[in-house]
């Protein structure tokens, strides 16, 4: 994302689930802020996968399959459903109780944008229902960022830093040629249905690494993330069960 050549308050480029991204400015958004809504995750009801950071793998692998997607640089995603459905958001726009919520969704409608020269600006999704002109948490107070906003932006900045660390992790996986294409199929009633293709670490290639490379992955924390990813793939079965339950509920209604 870049603000070069863009009208004041706008940001060029796209960000997944951010319908109307704008650079946060006091001129355009001085009277706005955040307020709770009854359906906080309705915006993600059709998100079948979302980006995650390496630091989240330990939590994510207990609830969702972790896959890699992308041609140039495979990036990790938490699988939330298939066929354009998120099976973890209910009809009231609430996340399923007791299930980890990926940080990418928790920072919404805030984000960071690189404006060039290693500088960053805050982005908001102006279309978000959380943004209000009678806010509980104003963006600005007395011409400055409000105190209530500072911890929220600290969280956004921390997540962005983790995403940069995750990119380095993915670059390492690519350099070691550990990612291979896999396919998930659902077998039911003696019929097999192809569901998705995705990237995953190939255990055989991992085992074939030199002692030096394997030790390096262990020492920098990458190996723990790799194992979390591999173990998480068993949760495709849970995704398929949720898919069937959703279909049955829709047929009954």
The residue whose two tokens read 């085992």 is: 207
User: Which candidate, 155, 165, 151, places its Cα nearest to that of 53?
Assistant: 165
Q: With beta carbons less than 8 A apart as the criterion, state whether 89 and 41 touch.
A: yes
N-terminal to C-terminal alpha carbon distance within the chain: 43
- What's the CA gap between 99 and 43, in Å, rounded? 17
- Name every residue whose Cβ is closer than 8 Å to that of residue 163 and which is 6 or more positions away in sequence: 51, 53
Backbone region of residue 153 per phi and psi (left: phi > 0; alpha: psi in -120 to 50; beta: other values): alpha
Cα–Cα distance, 162 to 58 (Å, whole number): 14
Residues contacting residue 32 through CB under 8 Å, at least 6 positions apart: 131, 132, 133, 135, 138, 139
Retrieve residue 161's tokens.
């830093």
**H/E element, 33:** strand 33-34
pTM of the model: 0.90
Cβ atoms of 22 and 9 closer than 8 Å: yes
Q: Within 13 Å and on the Cβ side, how many CA atoms surround 86?
A: 24
Predicted local confidence at residue 142, as pLDDT: 92
Could you read off the pLDDT tens digit of each residue along the chain, which spans 253 residues?
Answer: 223 223 333 444 579 999 999 999 999 999 999 999 999 999 999 999 999 999 999 999 999 999 999 888 999 999 999 999 999 999 999 999 999 999 999 999 999 987 766 677 999 999 999 999 999 999 999 999 999 999 999 999 999 999 999 999 999 999 999 999 999 877 766 666 778 899 999 999 999 999 999 999 999 999 999 999 999 999 999 999 999 888 888 877 6
Point out which residues pair with 51 in neighbouring strands.
Answer: 77
Closest residue by Cα to residue 236 from 24, 47, 70, 79: 79
The sign of the torsion formed by the CA atoms of 16, 161, 77, 199 equals positive
The DSSP secondary-structure symbol of 95 reads: B
In whole angstroms, what is the distance from residue 70 CA to residue 189 CA?
Answer: 33
Half-sphere exposure of 173 (CA within 13 A, CB side): 32
Token pair for 107: 């920072």
Task: Dig out the tokens for 118 from the structure.
Answer: 């290693």
């Amino acid at each position: 994302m870049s603000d070069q050549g863009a009208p004041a308050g706008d940001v060029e480029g796209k960000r997944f689930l951010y319908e109307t991204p704008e650079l946060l400015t006091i001129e355009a958004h001085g009277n706005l802020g955040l307020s709770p809504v009854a359906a906080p995750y309705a915006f993600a009801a059709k998100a079948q996968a979302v980006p995650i950071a390496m630091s989240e793998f330990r939590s994510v692998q207990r609830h969702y399959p972790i896959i890699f997607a992308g041609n140039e640089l495979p990036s990790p995603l938490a699988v939330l459903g298939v066929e354009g459905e998120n099976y973890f958001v209910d009809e009231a726009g609430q996340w399923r109780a007791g299930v980890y919520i990926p940080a990418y969704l928790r920072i919404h409608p805030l984000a960071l944008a690189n404006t060039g020269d290693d500088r960053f600006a805050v982005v908001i999704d102006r279309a978000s229902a959380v943004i209000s002109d009678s806010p509980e948490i104003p963006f600005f107070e007395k011409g400055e960022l409000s105190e209530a906003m500072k911890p929220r932006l600290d969280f956004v900045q921390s997540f962005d830093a983790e995403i940069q660390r995750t990119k380095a992790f993915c670059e390492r996986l690519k350099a070691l040629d550990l990612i291979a294409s896999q396919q998930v199929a659902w077998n039911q009633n003696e019929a097999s249905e192809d569901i998705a293709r995705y990237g995953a670490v190939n255990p055989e290639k991992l085992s074939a690494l030199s002692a030096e490379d394997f030790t390096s992955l262990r020492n920098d924390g990458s190996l723990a993330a790799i194992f979390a990813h591999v173990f998480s793939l068993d949760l495709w079965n849970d995704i398929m069960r949720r898919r069937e339950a959703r279909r049955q509920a829709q047929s009954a209604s």
